[in-house]
Amino acid sequence: MKDITQDFGTLYHPLSALVFYQTKGNNKYTYVEHFDMDKNGNPVNAHPLTEREAKVLAKALNTKKEKSKAFLKSNGILPTNVLHINPSENGMVLWYTKPRKVKMFFTESLEIPNGTAKVPALLWYASKQSLIVFALEKDHRPTENTVLFHAPFFNFYEDGHVCMGTVDINIKNSASVEEFMQAWESYFFNSYYSHLVNEHNPIKGNCVSLWKDLIGTHKAFPKAVLKNTNKTIKTIL
């Protein structure tokens, strides 16, 4: 006979076994017995499960805790534009970006050409599933008392939530804080602006005219058109 065990891949050998015993009746008591395995796979050395053995087992089974430790962990020194992190299972990160030029996309119905334009400083507040964005009047690092303005874009609800439409959001469970922020900014600026949600106009004036005037130019974003939300960072945390 030919020995084909080398073709099986990784072999796992029995190391130990647990047997759970439980009493009958309303008030049930549970007892756990631990067995070692001999070289033939037979249970030997029966003894009550020790506290040390229980801790080793719990650590091996607690994969969820290990994953949550990796989620929203920085790759190095925490980025200076991060304002707040809540590394829960759903995750929440608050950060800001300074004024910059970005590529923007619009649906044909808006009759605004795709292209680059300068946007104001922005405040981002995101979880794994949702994104809130506000505009900032000042370019420096905000504080909890910084006044928030409506983000001057299409596809926004009045409370600052972004309507992502058909964009497939996929934030990894192991995403670092840098990857998390980069992913959301990419989702936001690489999606198509299409409409005013519930007729919410986020600026003073005409939103279509504003972006028609800015796209493809080097003009600074006109902060005078920003609308105050009467909120501060402290009120949204």
For the stretch 179-188, pLDDT in tens is: 999 999 999 9
Question: CA 66, CA 123: separation in Å to the nearest integer?
Answer: 30
Whether 6 is in a domain gets the answer no
**pLDDT over threshold 50, residue 50:** yes
Alpha carbon separation from 87 to 69, 134, 170 (Å, rounded): 8, 22, 17
Same domain, 54 and 163: no
Which domain does 25 fall in, by range? 11-61
Q: Does residue 151 form part of some domain?
A: yes
Residues 54, 97: one domain?
no
| Residues 207, 223: Cα–Cα separation, whole Å | 13
Same domain, 81 and 149: yes
Is 44 in the same domain as 80? Answer: no
Top-confidence range, 31-35, 162-166, 208-212: 208-212
Residue 140 phi, psi (nearest 5): -85, 175
Look at residue 3 and tell me if it is in a domain.
no
169 lies in the same domain as 210: yes
Residue 32 domain-assigned (yes or no): yes
Are 39 and 94 in a shared domain?
A: no
Query: Total structural domains in the chain?
Result: 2
Asked whether residue 5 is assigned to any structural domain, the reply reads: no
For the chain, give the DSSP string: ----GGGG-S-----EEEEEEE--SSS--EEEEEEEE-TTS-EEEEEEPPHHHHHHHHHHH-HHHHHHHHTT--SSSPPTTEEEEE-SSS-EEEEEE-SEEEEEEE-GGGT---EEEEE-EEEEEE-SS-EEEEEESSSSPP-TT-EEEE-SSSSB-TTSBB--TT------TT--HHHHHHHHHHHHHTSEE---GGG---BSS-HHHHHHHHTTS-PPP-GGGBPEEEEEHHHH-
Summarize pLDDT for 79-90 with one digit per residue, the tens: 999 999 998 878
Q: Are residues 116 and 210 in the same domain?
A: yes
Residue 77 falls inside a structural domain: yes
84 and 174 belong to one structural domain: yes
What predicted TM-score, i.e. pTM, was given to this entire model? 0.72
Residues 16 and 39 in one domain: yes
pLDDT digits (tens, 9 = 90+) for 54-80: 777 777 666 555 454 578 999 999 999
Task: Choose among 116, 99, 100: nearest CA to 211.
Answer: 116
Residues 112 and 223 in one domain: yes
